[in-house]
């Protein structure tokens, strides 16, 4: 057993290895770049592990799809701007049933956002980022050991659902250092093997692929079905039901702190760590499986509390989903601009529970500041 100081991003990579990953493609972007760096170093020492630093995030996403179709367990890591570029590939992988893992270490957005400013603004992007209808699976750990375990679980869920699965993280979780024994955990985790054949393998059930809707069974197997609504319905609902069944097996959450309190705090990722000193005053619901939303669990647990307060580093993205799930209004505490601190959490909870607005007090413009440049910086 070897306990060592380990970073969150390193735990994600090691979790991928423990799950059997053999291929990584990525493009450097803060705050996920350590995963790429570690993958590069690992590939240099282990030639059986394939590594590609692609020209951009679009190429990275499509590369892991190709690697998965060829039989490898594959993954990539990025942040919000890169994840935006990957969305067509995410939808493509959903459509053709490609198991792979996307790691999104979030930062403040929109667009290129703020590279060093932590945020949780990609919650809804995971659900609605690509076109069409699909049922995404996504997980969000809040510490180093959990990052390892959840990455393994994400790979397992990808294999079981035959779809891309997202591991969400944030600047703080990614760069958090904790003393853990990942070797011992790796020896104990369950790993789901690849069950579907690679393209080109001659088996009793060959895998057909052309990038469009195709007949999977019967006399027309392997032929395009782009004008057959019945075949679309069969494949769409088969995938949806498969994803929902897999989601049930991975319904991860934490309900704790002072469960007898009258107020339930809903938070996730690093916010749940920052808010932990309030454990004597409030109950906690921490979703680990972010998508699909834990509807049944939320309804049952929230029914026992007078108030539900959702604290998150965005403008209420998960709060919207909680309200839809439990059919009642919740209080909202948005932590914006990278200000994720116990002071901000405490002030926000007190404000909304006393009847105040969800928006925090906006500081006035400084009056003695130096003139700004024409570009508005400096």
Would you say residue 22 lies in a domain? Answer: yes
- CB hemisphere CA count around 310 (13 angstroms): 23
The domain that holds 261 is classified in CATH as: 3.40.50.920
Residues 139 and 280 in one domain: no
The domain that holds 10 is classified in CATH as: 3.40.50.970
Q: What pLDDT does 372 receive?
A: 63
**Strand duo 100-106 + 164-170: pairing:** parallel
Would you say residue 239 lies in a domain? Answer: no
How far is 150 from 162, CA to CA, in rounded Å?
A: 17
Residues 116 and 16 in one domain: yes
How far is 198 from 260, CA to CA, in rounded Å?
A: 52
Q: What pLDDT does 378 receive?
A: 43
Residues 184 and 293 in one domain: no
pTM: 0.94
Would you say residue 211 lies in a domain? Answer: no
Is-contact 93 164, C-beta < 8 A?
yes
**How many other C-beta atoms are found inside a 10 Å radius of the C-beta of residue 352?**
20
Would you say residue 198 lies in a domain? Answer: no
Residues 179 and 264 in one domain: no
Phi, psi of 295 (to 5 degrees): -60, -55
Which of 159, 188, 217 is the last residue before a domain boundary? 188
Residues 169 and 54 in one domain: yes
Domain residue limits at 344: 253-353
Is-contact 253 286, C-beta < 8 A?
yes
Q: What pLDDT does 370 receive?
A: 64
Tens-binned pLDDT, residue by residue, of the chain (378 aa): 689 999 999 999 999 999 999 999 999 999 999 999 999 999 999 999 999 999 999 999 999 999 999 999 999 999 999 999 999 999 999 988 999 999 999 999 998 888 888 999 999 999 999 999 999 999 999 999 999 999 999 999 999 999 999 999 999 999 999 999 999 999 999 999 998 888 776 666 656 555 567 777 778 877 878 888 988 898 899 999 999 999 999 999 999 999 999 999 999 999 999 999 999 999 999 999 999 999 999 999 999 999 999 999 999 999 999 999 999 999 999 999 998 999 999 999 999 999 999 999 988 887 766 666 555 444
At 374, list the tokens: 């024409």
Residues 176 and 271 in one domain: no
Q: What pLDDT does 38 receive?
A: 98
How far is 328 from 99, CA to CA, in rounded Å?
A: 36
Would you say residue 209 lies in a domain? Answer: no
**How many other C-beta atoms are found inside a 10 Å radius of the C-beta of residue 253?**
17
Would you say residue 199 lies in a domain? Answer: no
Would you say residue 194 lies in a domain? Answer: no
Question: Distance from CA of residue 339 to its chain's centroid?
Answer: 21
Residues 31 and 155 in one domain: yes
The total number of structural domains that make up the chain: 2
Residues 174 and 304 in one domain: no
Residues 84 and 166 in one domain: yes
Contacts of 87 (CB under 8 A, 6+ apart): 125, 129, 130
Q: What pLDDT does 365 receive?
A: 82
Which of 163, 188, 213 is the last residue before a domain boundary? 188
Would you say residue 193 lies in a domain? Answer: no
Is-contact 209 69, C-beta < 8 A?
yes
Residues 162 and 310 in one domain: no
Residues 260 and 162 in one domain: no
Q: What pLDDT does 269 receive?
A: 98
Residues 303 and 158 in one domain: no
Which of 170, 188, 206 is the last residue before a domain boundary? 188
């Amino acid at each position: 057993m070897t306990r060592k100081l380990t970073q969150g991003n390193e735990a994600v990579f090691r979790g991928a290895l423990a799950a059997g990953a053999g291929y990584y493609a990525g493009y450097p972007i803060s705050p996920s770049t350590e995963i790429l760096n570690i993958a590069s170093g690992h590939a240099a020492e282990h030639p059986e592990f394939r590594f590609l630093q692609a020209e951009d995030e679009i190429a990275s996403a499509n590369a892991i799809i190709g690697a998965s179709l060829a039989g490898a367990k594959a993954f990539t890591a990025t942040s919000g701007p890169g994840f935006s570029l990957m969305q067509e590939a995410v939808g493509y992988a959903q459509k053709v049933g490609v198991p792979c893992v996307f790691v999104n270490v979030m930062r403040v957005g929109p667009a290129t956002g703020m590279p060093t400013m932590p945020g949780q603004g990609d919650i809804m992007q995971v659900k609605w980022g690509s076109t069409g209808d699909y049922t995404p699976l996504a997980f969000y750990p809040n510490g180093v050991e959990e990052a390892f375990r959840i990455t393994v679980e994400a790979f397992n869920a990808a294999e079981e659902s035959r779809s891309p699965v997202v591991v969400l993280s944030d600047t703080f979780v990614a760069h958090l250092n904790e003393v853990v024994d990942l070797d011992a955990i790796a020896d104990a985790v369950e790993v789901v093997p690849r069950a579907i054949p690679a393209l080109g393998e001659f088996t009793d059930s060959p895998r057909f692929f052309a990038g469009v809707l195709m007949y999977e069974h019967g006399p027309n197997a392997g032929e395009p079905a782009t004008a057959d609504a019945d075949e679309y319905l069969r494949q769409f609902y088969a995938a949806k039901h498969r994803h929902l069944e897999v989601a049930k097996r991975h319904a991860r959450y934490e309900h704790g702190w002072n469960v007898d309190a009258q107020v339930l705090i809903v938070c996730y990722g690093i916010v749940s760590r920052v808010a932990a000193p309030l454990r004597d005053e409030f109950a906690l619901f921490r979703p680990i499986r972010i998508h699909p939303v834990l509807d049944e669990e939320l309804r049952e647990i929230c029914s026992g509390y007078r108030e539900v307060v959702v604290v998150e580093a965005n403008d209420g993205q998960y709060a919207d989903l909680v309200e839809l799930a439990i059919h009642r209004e919740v209080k909202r505490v948005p932590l914006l601009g990278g200000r994720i601190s116990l002071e901000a959490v405490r002030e926000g909870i007190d404000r909304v529970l006393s009847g105040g607005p969800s928006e925090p007090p906006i500081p006035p413009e400084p009056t003695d500041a130096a003139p700004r440049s024409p570009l508005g910086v400096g």
